[in-house]
Amino acid sequence: MCGIGGGVCLEGFSQEWLKRLAGVLRHRGPDDEGYFCEGKVGLAHRRLSVIDPQRGNQPMSDEEGRCWIVFNGAIYNYLELRQDLLGLGYRFRTHSDTEVILYAYRHWGKDCLERLNGMFAFVIYDREEGLLFGARDRLGIKPLYYYHDGNLFLFASEIKAILETGVCRARVDKRSLLDYLAFQLYWGERTLFAGIKRVLPGTFFTLKVGERLSFFRGSYWNLEPKKEKKRGEGYYLQRLAFLLQDSVRLRLRADVRLGSHLSGGLDSSLIASFASSLLDRPLETFTGKFSEKDFDESDYAKMVADSLGARFHCIEIGAKDFLNHIENVIYYMDEPQAGPGVFAQYMLSRYISEKVRVVLGGQGGDELFVGYVRYLLMVFEALFSAAIEGQEAAAREFQGILANLKQLRRYRPLVQFQFRDGLFEESSSRYLRLLYRFAGFEDLLNWEFFEGVDYDPREVFEEFFRSIPYSSLVDRMLYFDLKTSLPALLHVEDRTSMAYSLESRVPFLDHRLVEFAFSTPVEIKFCGGELKYLLRRVGENILPLPVLARRDKMGFPVPLNLWLRRELREWFLDLVASEQIWKIGIFQKKKLGALLENLSLYGRNSWAVICLGLWLKRFSVSE
């Protein structure tokens, strides 16, 4: 895993820019740094050595010096691709996956992307063609950002590296701010920094270098409905078990120490189980907990570790850690993120990095195999509405999910909220209602700040949901989350791990598994309305029964509300009273202050205020 940066300037690329870019990215690659600067083009690299530590330094060129690459990530099938390329006559000087990408590009051009199985963001400078070719992996596991003003193009693994060059100021993108307040994520290419964009997952770009810069963006991967031969449940269980095991096998390829997250939930437990079965030594497993008993799920994690004969490591996280580290968390994130769980992940990564250099995780299981309770609630509502309208097929389906509706018992407030009004509206509006976070902010905002911004995030949301090519409601929700909330979660995964030079690998997001999940009929992957039905079946005879059967997994919840009433109260009030948070006038000071004094602003809204306040302060953001 690494940090990359560089770009093109028509007036000549400054080596000072490269040093600044690389300096800010040191945490992503503490083992080595390298530069390429030639005329208008510059490339910079910070390396975290995981594969071929001795000879894999970058920027790396091919044998003729025609192409130069900077690469962040890991190509898991690089050994197989290397054999293919050797058979085609290419010679290799290293055993790194970086060199495999170089020659894959030389031989197949942009079509090389379809052959890569991994997480990646890379940029290649092709001297002969006079262009930059850059790409990002299919799901957006590894980040890549750019700034382009016509005469200058900069790219980097993190936004802060682009800002460090001094070519653009940290200014707030008001549309993205509305996105964040409404959904606590960012739509499309835009970031919260005006003028700085993200390369979207599954896309590539070319930049032709001449008297002017010619920029082109394209897509190389997307999910589309396919007509599949009808098969029984046994086929899908067997195929899922094979793909998951093979994905884990590939992600165990490393020349450094390796471990696995273990939260006590189904997803991470399955990953740890497959990893343990493939290793010839005890697996190192890691979990985090809080002193508050209601937020401690470590007993389940230890149960799994003991069943696997794995080494179990657990760290306790408290309010004092929040005070000591939250400003750094916001700095490494670059942009405010969805919930306080990012802090817990940051602390856990800090601990894990002292033990191993690579860690496996269960990210993606919910979005692929119907894991969120909101999916069940939406199906329940849709079938209920259709049954009332007299649709007999819907009534039969409704009967089929009755046994699993007890999973909603713990979410009564959510069910009550969803059923309060709008019951017969179309599905896009109903899903919007479940995800929309803006209600708590509408009265707190200073709307003069947004004057002239003709933008409603809800319209963008509904338009995108309606455009999704899948016919079933379940697949439309899964697709929507795969394209929106999952990239936000992967952003957190990348930043919290790379803050401590830790490489995080996510086996569920092997593109073969993703394509398999979306080709699996809904009636099989969501059989009888049971969340994660297929994963539970795969876990039978592998995982302890209490872990397999539990339906109360919390995620990684932080007791922020409790802390804000106790240990963090004065700190929170001081933050909101600070000059920087009011400087550009996002909030109405009097209204927000009154809510704080009355202890009425908590949950996600308090987290959003904390994030925005620290972000404005840390990056000296202007309007």
Q: Are 72 and 3 in contact (CB under 8 A)?
A: yes
Inter-CA distances, 62 with 41, 124, 228, Å: 17, 11, 42
The average pLDDT across 304-308 equals 98
User: Start-end ranges of CATH 3.40.50.620 in the chain?
Assistant: 233-316+351-369+491-549
Q: What is the pLDDT of residue 603?
A: 62
Quick one: pLDDT band at residue 622, thresholds 50, 70, 90? Answer: confident
Q: Report the C-alpha gap between 401 and 377 in whole angstroms.
A: 11
Write the pLDDT tens digit of every residue in 337-350.
Answer: 988 999 999 999 99
Counts of helices then strands in the chain (DSSP H, E)? 27, 17
User: 271 or 404: which carries more pLDDT confidence?
Assistant: 271
Residues 276-296 as b/e (b if ≥16 CB within 10 A, e otherwise) read beebeeebbbbbbbbeeeebb
Q: Are 41 and 123 in contact (CB under 8 A)?
A: no
- Look at residue 454 and tell me whether its pLDDT is greater than 90: yes
The average pLDDT across 271-286 equals 97
User: Start-end ranges of CATH 3.60.20.10 in the chain?
Assistant: 2-172+192-219
Inter-CA distances, 102 with 7, 47, 153, Å: 18, 17, 22
Q: Report the C-alpha gap between 589 and 599 in whole angstroms.
A: 15
Q: What is the pLDDT of residue 226?
A: 86
Here the tokens at position 468 are: 């999704």
Q: Report the C-alpha gap between 19 and 35 in whole angstroms.
A: 8
The average pLDDT across 9-23 equals 94
In sequence order, the 6+-apart residues with CB closer than 8 A to the CB of 144 are: 4, 72, 121, 123, 134, 136, 155, 156, 157, 198, 199
Q: Is 260 helix (H, G, I), strand (E, B) or coil?
A: strand
Q: What is the pLDDT of residue 598?
A: 59
Catalytic residue chosen out of the listed positions 2, 67, 527, 611: 2
Q: What is the pLDDT of residue 170?
A: 96
The alpha helices in 109-232, defined as continuous H runs, are 159-164, 174-183
Which candidate, 585, 46, 502, places its Cα nearest to that of 286?
502
Q: What is the pLDDT of residue 52?
A: 65
Write the pLDDT tens digit of every residue in 230-246.
Answer: 899 999 999 999 999 99
Backbone phi, psi, residue 584, to 5°: -100, 0
- Look at residue 597 and tell me whether its pLDDT is greater than 90: no
The average pLDDT across 128-157 equals 97
CATH topology of domain 2-172+192-219: Glutamine Phosphoribosylpyrophosphate, subunit 1, domain 1 (3.60.20)
Write the pLDDT tens digit of every residue in 170-187.
Answer: 999 999 999 999 999 999
Write the pLDDT tens digit of every residue in 460-505.
Answer: 999 999 999 999 999 999 999 999 999 999 999 999 999 999 999 9
Q: Which CATH code fits 233-316+351-369+491-549?
A: 3.40.50.620
In sequence order, the 6+-apart residues with CB closer than 8 A to the CB of 169 are: 622
Q: What is the pLDDT of residue 600?
A: 54
- Look at residue 620 and tell me whether its pLDDT is greater than 60: yes
Here the tokens at position 433 are: 């209602």
In sequence order, the 6+-apart residues with CB closer than 8 A to the CB of 603 are: 560, 561
168 labelled catalytic: no
Q: What is the pLDDT of residue 467?
A: 96
User: 272 or 48: which carries more pLDDT confidence?
Assistant: 272
Pairing of strands 145-148, 196-198: antiparallel
